[in-house]
Chain A
Amino acid sequence: MDILIYAVAALTLMALVFGGILGYAAKRFKVDGNPIVEQINELLPQTQCGQCGHPGCKPYAEAIANQTDPINRCPPGGETTIKALADLLDVEALPLDAEAGVDSVRKIAYIREDECIGCTKCIQACPVDAILGAAKQMHTVIIPECTGCDLCVEPCPVDCIDMLPVPVTSQTWHWQKPEQLIATDRHPRVVSQGDIPA
């Protein structure tokens, strides 16, 4: 009988002690806010393009964090962003959702300035204030600020905005990854820059 009492007492005591520790830890090491949203937001390309169906990158980050949206709805981020998100959230990387758009080369908006009528509609659409101009004055894009979200293309009444790929200059050019070519017995000296997995 004593044994039973001791055992129950010991267990109760331990439950109290560990409960206390856990309670203290929960208070002491409480994490403020939801940093995962910030972390996801850091990985998104911040084009604020809305192609994911959210009005900007932060709302999409919140949607991912709440698991209401998959990680593959960001065309400007493409493969890389999906991979990074998959790493962060420890989920499987999905192929880019075709509904949201296609992953493509980085583009920048250009206004054909002699066709611009100065309606300011694109200025209102631009999420990063990268378009300069005033009513009835010609508008232009501040190239270094443009994120290539193409939100300004739709509102333009005279279709004078082009999305052009960012040109490669000798400053931004770099060597490509050596390609992988498999040699065969017949062409053992296939000129290749890649190596062959044995």
Chain B
Amino acid sequence: MMTLFSSPHLHGGNRSQRLMLLVLAAAMPGLLTQIYWFGYGTLFNVVWAILVGLLLEAGVLALRKRPLGFFLKDGSVIVTCLLLALALPPLAPWWLVTVATLFAVLFAKHLYGGLGNNPFNPAMAGYAICLIAFPASMTVWTSPEHYFDLAGQWQWFWQERGNIDAITQATPLDAMKHLQGKTINEMLSANPSVVHYADAMFWVNTAYLAGGLALLALKVFTWHAPGAMLASLGIMAGLFGAGEPDLYASFSDHLFLGATMLAAFFIITDPVTSATSRKGKLIFGAGIGILVYVIRTWGSYPDAFAFAVLLMNLSAPLIDQYSKPKAYGQQP
């Protein structure tokens, strides 16, 4: 007797692999812009993270007696590692990237049952662990004006040798947080390098926005989570920024500085760890936006996507519980 399949007998040809490839492709403009402004550090991070990630994935799959080729090909670990590496500071040394990847792939993903079963976004979990464990290494940001050349970066990446004080500086969000009695405008006019940094971040964010819009157009995800996140962050920033422009960073600062666009289109759209329904995704995105603003403004970290995303990951089952769509034809 032949095996009979239930309908439908037609498939649209959509594959998980295709989705992952599209995400990788859409992140390329952002990666290139980041390299353009901040040097080769990010490239080193990306390559190393993906290598380590693939190795770890293969190792775990072998331990769990799962077919290697089948799962390595799905590309999910590459996406995780890419996003993690993009979020890490360009001056992260090899051991930091390794530890972050290890946490992401081993602890956040496979210990929970692998692809599709992890409650926390693996990239953000890896990032957050390192941010808490190695705060100093996780906050060295290169200035867009001075960064290592390829050889210098190579040396730094492996041996952490070189004069990094010359090439690091506070990020604009950091600077706006620690005003030390000045207004934002006073601080900016006193520090032209911060203004320059902000320009660079604007372009990086724009590149991610472009990639994200492309994914949206290709229907890789729906607009709900990123839309809600950007809207809630924008509204919070707009309200406070308009109220006291001297103390609070403006609407555009919040949307185009830090990891805003990367998070909005690449991180919080991770389907596995977000809420399920479209309504749920709206709540999920809005929650992240609000949390990010709160932590950026009143918390002790200048940027806060990792924590905001993890906190909302925690709430996703609850959101799902209360955001069931109305049944077809159900009277309101």
Residues in A lying within 8 Å of B, measured CB to CB: 175, 178, 182-185, 188, 191, 193, 196-198
Q: How far, in angstroms, from A188 to B115 measured CA to CA in the complex?
A: 18
24 chain-A/chain-B pairs, Cβ below 8 angstroms: A175-B6, A178-B6, A182-B66, A182-B67, A183-B67, A183-B70, A184-B67, A184-B70, A185-B69, A185-B70, A188-B67, A188-B69, A188-B70, A191-B3, A193-B6, A196-B70, A197-B113, A197-B114, A197-B117, A198-B66, A198-B113, A198-B114, A198-B116, A198-B117
Task: Find the A residue at minimum CB distance from B5.
Answer: A193
Residues in A whose Cβ lies below 8 Å from that of B113: 197-198
Closest approach, in angstroms, between the C-beta of A5 and any C-beta of chain B?
48
| Interface of A: prevailing SS | loop
Task: Find the B residue at minimum CB distance from A188.
Answer: B70
Does B251 touch A at the CB level, under 8 Å?
A: no
Residues in A whose Cβ lies below 8 Å from that of B115: 198
Query: Could you tell me which residues of chain B, from 1 to 51, have a CB within 8 Å of some CB in chain A?
Result: 3, 5-6
| Interface of B: prevailing SS | loop
Task: Find the A residue at minimum CB distance from B73.
Answer: A188
Apart from A178-B6, A185-B70, 12 more pairs, CB < 8 Å: A182-B66, A184-B67, A185-B68, A185-B69, A188-B70, A191-B3, A193-B3, A193-B5, A196-B70, A197-B113, A198-B66, A198-B114
Size bracket of the B interface: 10 to 19
Q: How far, in angstroms, from A143 to B68 measured CA to CA in the complex?
A: 54
Query: Could you tell me which residues of chain B, from 96 to 136, have a CB within 8 Å of some CB in chain A?
Result: 113-117
Task: Find the A residue at minimum CB distance from B110.
Answer: A198
Does B301 touch A at the CB level, under 8 Å?
A: no
Residues in B whose Cβ lies below 8 Å from that of A184: 67, 70
Does B240 touch A at the CB level, under 8 Å?
A: no
Does B221 touch A at the CB level, under 8 Å?
A: no
Residues in B whose Cβ lies below 8 Å from that of A193: 3, 5-6
Q: How far, in angstroms, from A191 to B6 measured CA to CA in the complex?
A: 13
Task: Find the B residue at minimum CB distance from A175.
Answer: B6
Closest approach, in angstroms, between the C-beta of B65 and any C-beta of chain A?
9
Does B94 touch A at the CB level, under 8 Å?
A: no
Q: How far, in angstroms, from A193 to B3 measured CA to CA in the complex?
A: 9
Residues in A whose Cβ lies below 8 Å from that of B202: none
Does B71 touch A at the CB level, under 8 Å?
A: yes
Q: How far, in angstroms, from A188 to B66 measured CA to CA in the complex?
A: 12
Residues in B whose Cβ lies below 8 Å from that of A178: 6
4 closest residue pairs by CB, A with B: A198-B114, A198-B115, A185-B69, A184-B67
Residues in B whose Cβ lies below 8 Å from that of A198: 66, 71, 74, 113-117
When the two chains form their complex, are residues B3 and A185 in contact, meaning their CB atoms are under 8 A apart?
Answer: no
Closest approach, in angstroms, between the C-beta of A174 and any C-beta of chain B?
11
Task: Find the A residue at minimum CB distance from B116.
Answer: A198
Residues in B whose Cβ lies below 8 Å from that of A185: 67-70
Q: How far, in angstroms, from A197 to B71 measured CA to CA in the complex?
A: 10
Residues in B whose Cβ lies below 8 Å from that of A191: 3
Q: How far, in angstroms, from A182 to B70 measured CA to CA in the complex?
A: 10
Q: How far, in angstroms, from A197 to B5 measured CA to CA in the complex?
A: 20
Task: Find the A residue at minimum CB distance from B71.
Answer: A198
Closest approach, in angstroms, between the C-beta of A60 and any C-beta of chain B?
35
Q: How far, in angstroms, from A91 to B247 measured CA to CA in the complex?
A: 58
Residues in A whose Cβ lies below 8 Å from that of B117: 197-198
Q: How far, in angstroms, from A183 to B73 measured CA to CA in the complex?
A: 13
Closest approach, in angstroms, between the C-beta of B72 and any C-beta of chain A?
10
Closest approach, in angstroms, between the C-beta of A170 and any C-beta of chain B?
15
Closest approach, in angstroms, between the C-beta of B122 and any C-beta of chain A?
13
Closest approach, in angstroms, between the C-beta of A193 and any C-beta of chain B?
6
Residues in A whose Cβ lies below 8 Å from that of B68: 185
Task: Find the B residue at minimum CB distance from A179.
Answer: B3
Closest approach, in angstroms, between the C-beta of B70 and any C-beta of chain A?
5
**Listed residue (B67, B69, B71, B116) with the most chain A CB atoms within 10 angstroms of its CB:** B67
Closest approach, in angstroms, between the C-beta of B17 and any C-beta of chain A?
12
Task: Find the B residue at minimum CB distance from A176.
Answer: B6
Q: How far, in angstroms, from A183 to B3 measured CA to CA in the complex?
A: 17
Residues in B whose Cβ lies below 8 Å from that of A197: 113-114, 117
Q: How far, in angstroms, from A178 to B116 measured CA to CA in the complex?
A: 19
Closest approach, in angstroms, between the C-beta of B307 and any C-beta of chain A?
27
Q: How far, in angstroms, from A48 to B62 measured CA to CA in the complex?
A: 51
Q: How far, in angstroms, from A188 to B71 measured CA to CA in the complex?
A: 10
Residues in B whose Cβ lies below 8 Å from that of A188: 67, 69-70
Residues in B whose Cβ lies below 8 Å from that of A196: 66, 70
Q: How far, in angstroms, from A198 to B61 measured CA to CA in the complex?
A: 8
Closest approach, in angstroms, between the C-beta of A173 and any C-beta of chain B?
13
Q: How far, in angstroms, from A188 to B72 measured CA to CA in the complex?
A: 12
